[in-house]
Amino acid sequence: MNELERIEFQAMRGWHDAFAAAGLSNFDWELVEIGDAVCSVSSSEPGILVNRGFSLGSERPPTLEQLVAIREVYERANVPRPFLQVLPDNFGANREALLTRAGFRRHRAWMKFTRGPGELPTPRSDLTIRRIDSNRMADFAAIVAPAFDMTAASQ
């Protein structure tokens, strides 16, 4: 798994563990390992922010059997549209055909941006960025939830 994927997955695991520690009985969420992939699965929250497959193809090229098993995990959880984070270099040239044969279809893309080391330019904006606390969490949820097709269960 590349460094960016590893960091993102650690953040997801931390988020998952925080939900579990909070004992939220109305929110089911599990992490399921299938080969080198880890599937974040929640039937309570069908949105793509929670229902994502990580590290697929990080150790070896994915097989049709592995992809079908991943799709079946989400089907059993009644998640209509999970998001697979695909590492294109590890799939090979038949990536699209393999995903299609396994029952997946392209719906939307997820972009990640990186930059090299060095000084950041001084930003110019009339926007204000500030930390929020629990008093403003509903405001934050009102923006994030619709952006990621999330339901009221996660707000």
Residue 19: predicted pLDDT: 80
Residue 53: predicted pLDDT: 92
Residue holding tokens 């997820």?
Answer: 110
For the chain, residues with pLDDT lower than 50 are: none
Closest Cα partner for 110 from 39, 38, 42, 8? 8
Residue 154: predicted pLDDT: 61
Residue 77: predicted pLDDT: 94
pTM for the predicted model, two decimal places: 0.77
